[in-house]
Structure 1
Amino acid sequence: MGRSSVRVRRVYEPPEDEDGMRVLVDRLWPRGVSKAKAAIGTWPKDVTPSNELRSWYHQDPGSRYDDFVDRYRTELADPAHTAAVGELLALLREGGPVTLVTAVKDVPRSHVPVLVEHLEHELARP
């Protein structure tokens, strides 16, 4: 990806030196994890799905994922999210490793792959 590499890890895994900047990409702080143990460098809540979208999706994740992806992509393009996305892009452009950290159990069917794809797309733009 562009000038930097993005890793994705669950917050319950111990931090590693290769993580670089650890960015929490969940709206809520993960249960049972102290701030010291999580070793989070930044927590841009506005890169996460809105509370309304998150609640809607969790009512029926089995059948709503495709619609969730579309709605989250729309949110990422709105002004409330673009500043936070810009902060993440700036970190990635600095060139060091960036690790997106999440507490979600099913990472592949969460907001995280959508966010990674969005960041990659933005980094590839001239």
Structure 2
Amino acid sequence: MSEIALKRVYESPSPDDGYRVLVDRLWPRGLSKEHADINEWNKELAPSAELRKWFHHDPRLWDEFSEKYMEELQDASPGKDFLKRLKDQEKITLVYAAKDEEHCHPVILKKYLESLM
């Protein structure tokens, strides 16, 4: 695998996306499975329900959320099996529903996965 990208699930799917993985614990509002055009929905890569509710997309909590989420990823280590399973994919696009593209968990998840490559 050579590349991991990020994209909002509400943006139009593109052949350039490669293997599309929804990394949210909840299904995106108002989006049909057909329009999402995902290859996989991987809830294990998402923050725990408790952490997600605590953060509630509050940018003021971003730094603390980032640390806690990274700890969750390292403790559960879902990334190793994920990357091993998808090693033949040229590109993986992590898709998500959050409006704030700067303060959302896929930003952290991407760094985590890249650190394992």
What is the TM-score of this pair, normalised by structure 1? 0.86
Higher share in strand: 2
Q: Give the ranges of 4+ consecutive aligned residues of structure 1 lying more than 3 Å apart after TM superposition.
A: none
CA RMSD of the aligned region, Å? 1.5
Work out the CA distance in 1 between the residues paired with 2:71 and 2:98. 21
The question of 1:119 aligning with 2:117 is answered: no
Match of 2:46 in 1: 48
Work out the CA distance in 2 between the residues paired with 1:108 and 1:88. 24
Match of 2:55 in 1: 57
Query: What is the SS of the residue equivalent to 1:106?
Result: coil
- Cα displacement (A) at 1:92: 4.9
Which AA in structure 2 matches 1:39? D
Q: Is the 8 A contact 2:22 2:41 kept in 1?
A: yes
| Alignment equivalent of 2:80, drawn from 71, 86, 102 | 86
Cα pair distance change 1:118/1:46, threshold 3 Å: same
For structure 2, the 5+ residue unaligned runs are none
The size of the alignment, in residue pairs, is 117
Q: Is the 8 A contact 2:23 2:95 kept in 1?
A: yes
What is the TM-score of this pair, normalised by structure 2? 0.92
Work out the CA distance in 1 between the residues paired with 2:54 and 2:88. 35
Cα pair distance change 1:104/1:8, threshold 3 Å: same
- Cα displacement (A) at 1:116: 0.5
Cα pair distance change 1:91/1:19, threshold 3 Å: farther
Work out the CA distance in 1 between the residues paired with 2:43 and 2:89. 22
Match of 2:31 in 1: 33
Matched-pair identity in %: 43
| Alignment equivalent of 1:76, drawn from 56, 73, 85 | 73
Which AA in structure 1 matches 2:97? A
Higher share in helix: 1
For structure 1, the 5+ residue unaligned runs are none
